[in-house]
Structure 1
Amino acid sequence: MSNVKIDSHQHFWKYHPSTHEWIGPPMEVIKKDFLPADLYPLLQQNDMDGCVAIQAQQSETETLFLLDLAKQHPFIKGVVGWLDLCAEDIGKKLQEYAKNPLLKGLRHVVQDEPDDYFMLRPEFKRGLSLLEKYGLTYDILIYPKHLSPVLELVKLFPDQSFVLDHIAKPNINGKIDPNWEHYLGELGKRKNVYCKASGMVTEAAWGKWSKSDFIPYLDVVFDSFGAERIMFGSDWPVCLLSAEYKQVKDILTQYLTKYPKEIQEQVMGLNAEKFYRI
Structure 2
Amino acid sequence: MRVDSHQHFWNYDPVTHAWINSQMEVIKKDFLPSNLAPILKHAQMDGCVAVQADQSEKETDFLLQCAKENPFVLGVVGWMDLCSQDIEQKLDSYSKYPKLKGLRHIVQDEADDHFMLKPNFLRGISKLETYGFTYDILIYPKQLPAAVELVKMFPKQRFVLDHIAKPVINGNIDSKWEHRIQQLGSFKNVYCKASGMVTETSQNAFDNEDFHPYLDVVFKSFATNRIMFGSDWPVCLLSASYPRVLSILDAYLKQFSEEVQNRVMGLNAQEFYNL
TM-score normalised by structure 2 residue count: 0.99
Q: Which residue number in structure 1 is paired with residue 20 of structure 2?
A: 23
Matches within 5 A, 1:98-117: 98-117=95-114
Q: Which residue number in structure 1 is paired with residue 209 of structure 2?
A: 212
Q: Does 1:231 align with 2:231?
A: no
Structure 1 unaligned segments of length 5 or more: list them. none
Query: 1:57: how far off?
Result: 0.3
Q: Does 1:260 align with 2:257?
A: yes
Q: Which residue number in structure 1 is paired with residue 62 of structure 2?
A: 65
Matches within 5 A, 1:82-93: 82-93=79-90
Q: Which residue number in structure 2 is paired with residue 169 of structure 1?
A: 166
Q: Secondary structure of 2:254's match?
A: helix
1:105-144: CA deviation from partner (whole Å, max 9, x where unpaired): 0000000011111000000000010000000000000000
State percent identity of aligned pairs: 64
Aligned equivalents of 2:202 and 2:224: distance in 1? 27
* Residue identity matched to 1:186: Q
TM-score normalised by structure 1 residue count: 0.98
* Residue pair 1:7, 1:233 contacting (<8 A) in 2 also: yes
Q: Does 1:149 align with 2:146?
A: yes
- Compute the RMSD of aligned alpha carbons: 0.5
Aligned equivalents of 1:216 and 1:57: distance in 2? 32
Query: 1:51: how far off?
Result: 0.1
Q: Does 1:221 align with 2:238?
A: no
* Residue pair 1:206, 1:241 contacting (<8 A) in 2 also: no
1:231-260: CA deviation from partner (whole Å, max 9, x where unpaired): 000000000000000000010011000100
* Residue pair 1:166, 1:199 contacting (<8 A) in 2 also: yes
Aligned equivalents of 1:81 and 1:173: distance in 2? 32
Q: Which residue number in structure 2 is paired with residue 13 of structure 1?
A: 10
* Residue identity matched to 1:245: Y
Q: 2:184 aligns with which of 187, 204, 225?
A: 187
Q: 1:240 aligns with which of 237, 241, 261?
A: 237
Q: Secondary structure of 2:127's match?
A: coil
Q: Which residue number in structure 2 is paired with residue 274 of structure 1?
A: 271
